[in-house]
Structure 1
């Protein structure tokens, strides 16, 4: 009955006519799967999610698909996901203002964090959010003073996840105690049993390689040389083997070479003498604990659970060699303890452009008196044919980098003076004042509309208005409230974006914070450097942070100069 009155009331037409025009949303599709896409019939898959979302977006005249982001093998219990972070960066840059997911659980299973995005972050950034299978759209969803109703489903998702995590952890621990294998993939050299996936059986394709690795090492061949021999022979590394056999489908595993860490891991693993060793890492979602390494004394070891590939005599000989090399290494470290050591300022920042691996910092000592450090590409040691020898002295690289940063600090100082002058111009100040006034007016309008909306029901109960007046005014104030909220979100986003044209620009604030610093520090490098590439010809490519903010600043200055 109330709906009939709303349809015939002439005031409703006035509300509808003032509704904002349809807009073309710059839409991103977000896909997530917590385990590797196995392609099993009936199971949720990455490709299935992609097809659903692209079909949904293409069917909407007010949406334009601009990007598709996919986190494969990533948990939904937190938002520390590479592709999700990349998507949010696109949102902050204004390239995306609508996000579509299959359902709320694909977006996230943590109720508090998911709710924070839906209730606060997305509205603040002016982002529309749609969960297709949940029929949830923030543009049309019912919202109470406590927030959206549908996200309550996410609380169930989180409770469900924690309950499953607790039960799974208990069941898996029992299996570990019995010596049953519970890993996703069998150790290299083994396969899961055809009739019992918790039992390891020898893999006839890869076991000979394991035996050869142990034989070479027992003969005194270095780990580096073993890696080179395997790569030269074209033998697939464990990761590459999993990819080639279809056990994993992630592209990053394709073509991975043998390197020292893989070989060391194989040589130290008791699984190859028939013992099951598990529980070396621990993670508990239901207790809110992240993955951590477990002390060796607390590992779960069950002896003689499967057929060994290596005899115990060979295994022990290899362990003795490893312990001897470790002792020699620590002895060499102590030998030059009297020399002054320096902090690795650029740790994780220097990369090889060819193999896309970080360079390793090596210590060099001359005649026991002079010490210096060199960055070297580890890819060359693994396979000289695939990666050229890259080497550069640390002091040389630090000097080049510090000079480049000093130059940018001076540019930041100069640009700040220009920005201050432009921001002080009457026309700019008038524009900012007008924007601030519009925002304040919109906030007052919202407060008034909400107050009137909240008082309607009491007035109706007290018979201060008719049912028709109640329905009509309720529709009007609701529309006014929504319109004011949309305007406020847009103005706040504009206000936030306008900071890039002021002294609050991140390029200016971050680089100027190091003005007066007379040497390169780890804090400076971490704050200002994205990555440094050094090639075989010793060409240095420095990628500094805040380049988008810097370019936006230049564009703004050029635009103001043209006025």
Structure 2
């Protein structure tokens, strides 16, 4: 999104601004912690519209931004305790490409609430990229801190933002725990239920899907298997829980490829919420929307009876569980690589392995869907390897050729002239700064009139700006060269992991082949596609036969 700021001195400042930068950016963010679940946004000053208003007023009152398009990056409802936010990362990428040279935020807490991360961006990343940062309400402009840190005030302010976020997360979780203890609903609505009109924390039966849930329980009690139930539901075209959810949210975007499986049916049969019980606090995290969650011991679960209308009785739930064949799972071991790389080329499901005179691979989709294309997939391991091994040997030859190319490129030591080039520019900048002082002293002593002083000062400012741009360009080229050298050395190390296989044969060669395979797509028309783990080693080298058929 772009908007314009206007002003009287537009042409003068616009010309000066465009000599420094491309489009400035405005970053706006709200987080889940900013919201009160019952009343919406707890602090309206943090809303996207308010942040936009503050930034727009700022640029309108600063002539250097006159008639310059401001590019917006918005993360709505994302936590500030880490920087893993789509629009924030998109803004950083734009800065790396040189498309953004100035970022404006309402305050520094919009960047994030982890003061170490924010400090790293303010003091290291943005200065390296040549990006100016303005936090309107904090009165912060990185242009005023060139060559030094933002001081204790900025560091303390960021520290307080992080503590505020942590305190707010604790308060929000406390409110959620209170609702859990009352038996209120705080998670996703399970299939068969919907939110009650007027009370989003209460579940009521969904007239469209509740009968399906009851039917599943009755079918298992009558002796049908979970696979049989899944196949019947697919034959009738009943939407899966995920497809039904997509249908309700966006009817035009319904994914009709989703199928019922015995796992989908089993998950419904194991959900005790269908008996009117509310089970909460089975997982927890350090703060809101933290991706790293841990399982909570069962004795710490919050279980409340009779919180909503049951779809099945406790007796029916127990009877259904008694009919489920419980298989004692052996101690989990990592399966061999040859059992994990084969996938159906039609539906994407991992192929099931079966044993006979040979090991065979087939797709389970045929168990849940009539006349599935996948039903024609049945390959023996011997036949698959007979196709794959010659292709692997050809790939090893290409890897050898790639290794020779890298060897001819040499070790690629960094350009030793970089420090000298940067030092020369720094000395010239220092000379310009000294010249500015001399002009000022001459003006103060009356040896230079005001017009000449302003003209010389402006010329030196433009020269310094140009030199700083050259310095930034050199640093970027220096970093690009380092990155290229590191990538080349990394490719050499990775190649060495595979080239040893050129001296192998028999079972050892086959084993190394499976270690080098990312996945194999198997199709019903006796066609396979192999994706290798080392494909990136050929990036940009003109090798097109990386997928073998």
* Shorter-chain TM-score above 0.5: yes
The correspondence for 1:443, drawn from 399, 406, 422, is 422
How do 1:194-343 and structure 2 match up within 5 A?
Answer: 194-246=197-249, 256-285=258-287, 290-322=292-324, 325-327=325-327, 330=329, 343=335
The correspondence for 2:336, drawn from 333, 336, 344, is 344
C-alpha deviations, 1:520-560, integer Å up to 9, x for none? 7999867x6554422222422223356565243459xxxxx
C-alpha deviations, 1:374-416, integer Å up to 9, x for none? 3x44444443456523454556556755654554343233233
- Is the CA contact 2:240–2:258 (under 8 Å) kept in the aligned structure 1? yes
Which residue of 1 is the match for residue 167 of structure 2? 163
Cα pair distance change 1:444/1:101, threshold 3 Å: closer
Asked whether 1:413 is paired with 2:417, we answer: no
Which residue of 2 is the match for residue 190 of structure 1? 193
How far is 1:318 from its partner? 1.0
- Between the aligned partners of 1:169 and 1:85, the Cα distance in structure 2 is 28
SS at match of 1:257: coil
- Is the CA contact 1:280–1:294 (under 8 Å) kept in the aligned structure 2? yes
Cα pair distance change 1:271/1:20, threshold 3 Å: closer
Which residue of 2 is the match for residue 6 of structure 1? none
- Is the CA contact 1:351–1:533 (under 8 Å) kept in the aligned structure 2? yes
Cα pair distance change 1:476/1:445, threshold 3 Å: farther
- Between the aligned partners of 1:490 and 1:365, the Cα distance in structure 2 is 58
C-alpha deviations, 1:284-331, integer Å up to 9, x for none? 227978212233343221112222110112110111122xx123x54x
Higher RCO (CA 8 Å, separation ≥ 6 residues): 1
- Is the CA contact 2:273–2:279 (under 8 Å) kept in the aligned structure 1? yes
TM-score by length of 2: 0.67
Which residue of 2 is the match for residue 558 of structure 1? none
Which residue of 2 is the match for residue 364 of structure 1? 354
**410-419 vs 75-84, which deviates more?**
75-84
- Between the aligned partners of 2:159 and 2:244, the Cα distance in structure 1 is 40
- Between the aligned partners of 1:131 and 1:410, the Cα distance in structure 2 is 55
Query: Unpaired runs of 5+ in structure 2?
Result: 1-14, 60-64, 446-452, 544-549
- Between the aligned partners of 1:349 and 1:123, the Cα distance in structure 2 is 45
- Is the CA contact 1:416–1:508 (under 8 Å) kept in the aligned structure 2? yes
Asked whether 1:516 is paired with 2:516, we answer: no
- Between the aligned partners of 1:250 and 1:496, the Cα distance in structure 2 is 48
Cα pair distance change 1:284/1:540, threshold 3 Å: same
TM-score by length of 1: 0.66
- Is the CA contact 2:103–2:131 (under 8 Å) kept in the aligned structure 1? no
SS at match of 2:540: helix
- Between the aligned partners of 1:534 and 1:326, the Cα distance in structure 2 is 31
- Is the CA contact 2:280–2:302 (under 8 Å) kept in the aligned structure 1? yes
Query: Unpaired runs of 5+ in structure 1?
Result: 1-16, 556-563
- Between the aligned partners of 1:106 and 1:254, the Cα distance in structure 2 is 40
Which residue of 1 is the match for residue 546 of structure 2? none
